[in-house]
Amino acid sequence: MSSNSRFVPLVLETDTSFNMIKNYLHSACKSFLFLSFLVLISFSSYSQEISTEPAAITAGGQIFNANCKACHRVQQKLVGPALAGVEQRAPSIDWIKRFIKNSSAVIASGDEYAVNLYNEYNKTQMTAFTSLKDEDIMNVLAYIKSEAEKPATPPPGQQTGTGGTATNAGGGSEYLNVILIGMVIILILLVIILGFIISSLKRFLDQRPLSEEEKEVVHSPITFSSITSSRGFLFIVVFIVGALGFKTVINGLYSVGIQKGYAPKQPIAFSHKVHAGQYEIDCKYCHIGVMKGKSATIPSVNICMNCHNQIKTGTNTGEGEIGKIVRAFNENKPIEWVRIHNLPDLAYFNHAQHVNVGGVECQTCHGPIEEMDVVRQHSLLTMGWCIDCHRKTDVNSKGNAYYDKMVEIHKEREGKNPMKVEDIGGLECSKCHY
Ligand code: HEC
Ligand code: HEC
Ligand code: HEC
Ligand code: HEC
Ligand code: HEC
Ligand code: HEC
């Protein structure tokens, strides 16, 4: 009853000390709440405190993986310093924000800490991230702090990646093996049963009065030559040889012009296993065209030099292979990579449509690239391969307003069946042929 404030004065006048205490507590509570509110406000406007909110950490992790992971790890020195504890060793949070947005400006201003760091890292330029907001940087710091506090990180190269397609293929051949073993067992059983039938037939015939000639036939031993000279055997051999020959010819015809498995030697022994696998460098860091355009593009020497003006020796190949990059850079000559995937000119394929709009993973088409020392063509790249996927794959229409109308129309017509690529015109000749 005293919670209703209109009655408070009345109650105070008439009642005992019990209510006075209650009222006192009530106002104390209020002012405490007000105070903590003030403290909260001052914190958020100051906002230099590194958040421990899971949402901030996740958001920061995404920014870190997309922009920073190529050069930084939290616990380990890579191209740039290990970032654990930066918030303490750098001059200030504000300094960190300025440095990330434009490190060369901070260095050029003569800032002592920045100049020392720059020299320590052999004058390697850190990329400028002008598009990152203060809030993004605070999230990255939240992520770094939470990672730094984790006890032990798994060693590099342990990550399994997204190359799920390879294991599927293994599953298919296991299935075949089981069928084959089953068939062999059935054949052996048949031979044993036939043996029993033959011996009981022989016993049966022995009890009959037979002529000498007939007896000879019954007791003629089954020898190798008696088998090979029989007509049934000859038929089976001819059949098997014929079928095998036919299959090789058909396979040969089908693979004309198909380069699945093609893995040429490259001018530099560049390894995706080292870069994309062990060091987890994002595919898009090197194949910069993949989100924006038709072609994924092969990185120029400049991109290699972002890191290799620092890293001069490889664990597996020593200085020889990396030396070739430095030479190409100094002589200003492009590296002549041998192209592996190549559609004929009559077909049109666009990476951005698949990777950016469609959300298809690189590995779905290219296989487990991050496990390959030498890239090999994983898929057939035939028209049948494109069409097959367009029939099976649902369109990723989430968060894409462009598809809202189509999804609606599709629902009216087809009911609950998900919208496939074929439903948006993925089988029309003109979409893939000029
Ligand atoms: C191309 C490689 C590269 C990328 C990408 C990169 N950095 Fe750096 N970073 C460096 C190098 C190298 C340094 C050392 C200073 C120098 O040479 O300029 C550095 C220094 C720093 C420092 C100062 C470290 C210290 O010890 O005080 C911070 C903080 C930092 N980077 C944050 C980031 C963040 C956050 C991102 C992603 C948004 C990022 N960096 C992306 C190369 C990179
Ligand atoms: C450090 C830079 C770098 C990174 C990171 C990288 N690549 Fe590459 N990629 C290259 C270079 C250089 C070539 C050309 C030489 C070769 O084929 O090995 C190449 C070639 C390829 C090719 C074959 C191109 C052709 O000629 O048909 C594919 C496919 C490919 N990369 C996919 C990927 C995928 C998928 C990822 C991420 C898992 C990735 N790459 C990460 C540098 C990189
Ligand atoms: C983001 C940083 C980065 C970029 C970009 C990069 N590399 Fe590397 N590269 C590394 C690291 C890290 C290693 C591992 C060094 C080691 O083995 O200790 C390495 C190793 C190598 C090796 C030696 C591999 C071995 O194990 O012997 C070669 C060759 C190489 N890189 C070629 C290239 C080429 C070509 C490009 C450009 C297409 C390129 N790298 C771009 C970071 C990078
Ligand atoms: C839907 C299948 C598909 C997906 C997904 C895909 N690719 Fe490709 N990729 C292809 C085809 C097909 C070609 C041959 C294109 C041509 O010859 O015009 C190709 C060619 C390439 C090439 C060499 C030629 C070029 O276009 O520059 C690189 C490098 C490459 N892909 C990298 C990637 C990377 C990195 C990703 C993921 C970010 C990716 N691809 C995702 C199908 C795919
Ligand atoms: C792994 C599955 C997959 C493979 C393989 C594939 N595609 Fe696609 N394709 C898609 C998806 C998913 C979309 C829908 C993207 C979107 O949301 O617009 C698409 C869309 C397209 C479109 C646009 C269709 C439209 O109506 O807007 C074209 C053109 C296309 N693909 C060409 C090709 C060609 C050419 C190949 C073979 C070299 C190929 N695709 C292989 C999954 C695939
Ligand atoms: C999803 C994409 C896609 C669609 C849709 C598509 N094609 Fe193709 N087509 C291709 C690709 C990729 C190749 C090249 C394949 C190769 O080199 O094996 C090709 C090759 C061909 C070829 C040449 C065959 C050869 O062996 O060189 C013809 C003819 C052809 N397509 C006709 C058509 C017709 C007609 C349609 C419509 C009914 C059609 N295509 C629809 C992707 C497509």
Q: Ligand 3 centroid vs 392 CA: distance in angstroms? A: 38
Ligand at shortest distance from the CA of 361: 4
Give the Cβ contact number of residue 2 at 10 Å. Answer: 14
Average pLDDT over residues 388-405: 83
CB 73 within 8 A of CB 82: yes
How far apart CA 138 and CA 59 sit, in angstroms, is 10
Assess whether pLDDT exceeds 50 at residue 7. Answer: no
Which fold does the domain 54-149 belong to in CATH? Cytochrome Bc1 Complex; Chain D, domain 2 (1.10.760)
Q: Ligand 3 centroid vs 138 CA: distance in angstroms? A: 30
Assess whether pLDDT exceeds 70 at residue 51. Answer: yes
Q: Ligand 6 centroid vs 427 CA: distance in angstroms? A: 10
Protein residue with its CA nearest to atom 35 in ligand 3: 270
Across the chain, mean pLDDT equals 81
Instruction: Give the helix/strand (H/E) hosting 212.
Output: helix 212-219
Q: Ligand 5 centroid vs 425 CA: distance in angstroms? A: 10
User: What backbone phi and psi angles, to 5 degrees, belong to 146?
Assistant: -70, -35
Q: Ligand 3 centroid vs 385 CA: distance in angstroms? A: 33
> What's the pLDDT score for residue 3?
42
Ligand at shortest distance from the CA of 132: 1
More confident call, 135 vs 227 = 135
Ligand at shortest distance from the CA of 95: 1
Query: Structural domain boundaries of the chain?
Result: 5-46, 54-149, 187-220, 223-256
Angle, nearest 10°, between helix axes 134-149 and 93-101? 110
Ligand 2 near 328 CB (within 6 A): no
> What's the pLDDT score for residue 323?
93
How far apart CA 333 and CA 107 sit, in angstroms, is 31
Q: Ligand 5 centroid vs 262 CA: distance in angstroms? A: 23
> What's the pLDDT score for residue 115?
93
Give the residue, out of 50, 97, 102, 103, with the most ligand 1 atoms within 8 A of its beta carbon, to mutate for a pocket test: 103
CB 72 within 8 A of CB 80: yes
399: left (phi over 0), alpha (psi -120 to 50) or beta: left
Assess whether pLDDT exceeds 50 at residue 169. Answer: no
Ligand 4 near 140 CB (within 6 A): no
> What's the pLDDT score for residue 318?
87
Ligand 2 near 276 CB (within 6 A): yes
Protein residue with its CA nearest to atom 39 in ligand 4: 362
How far apart CA 194 and CA 420 sit, in angstroms, is 54
Tokens of 229: 């000279």
Q: Ligand 2 centroid vs 296 CA: distance in angstroms? A: 9
Ligand 4 near 272 CB (within 6 A): no
Ligand 4 near 386 CB (within 6 A): no
Q: Which of the four pLDDT bands, split at 50, 70 and 90, describes residue 348?
A: very high
Q: Which of the four pLDDT bands, split at 50, 70 and 90, describes residue 64?
A: very high
Average pLDDT over residues 408-430: 84
Assess whether pLDDT exceeds 80 at residue 179. Answer: yes
Q: Which of 41-50, 212-221, 225-234 has the lowest mean pLDDT?
A: 41-50
Ligand 2 near 286 CB (within 6 A): yes
Q: Which of the four pLDDT bands, split at 50, 70 and 90, describes residue 170?
A: very low
Percent of the chain with pLDDT over 90: 44
Bridge partners for 349 per DSSP: none
Ligand at shortest distance from the CA of 72: 1
Average pLDDT over residues 197-224: 82
Assess whether pLDDT exceeds 80 at residue 63. Answer: yes
- Helix, strand or coil, per DSSP, at residue 426: coil
- State pLDDT tens for residues 235-259: 999 999 999 988 888 777 665 556 7
Q: Which of the four pLDDT bands, split at 50, 70 and 90, describes residue 389?
A: very high
From the CA of 268, give the closest atom in ligand 2. 15
- State pLDDT tens for residues 79-126: 889 999 999 999 999 999 999 999 999 999 999 999 999 988 878 888
pTM of the model: 0.67
Q: Which amino acid is at 339?
A: R
CB 287 within 8 A of CB 299: yes
From the CA of 364, give the closest atom in ligand 5. 1
Q: What does DSSP assign to residue 276?
A: I
Ligand at shortest distance from the CA of 165: 5
Q: Which of the four pLDDT bands, split at 50, 70 and 90, describes residue 152?
A: low
Ligand 1 near 72 CB (within 6 A): yes
Residue with tokens 């870190």: 64
> What's the pLDDT score for residue 256?
59
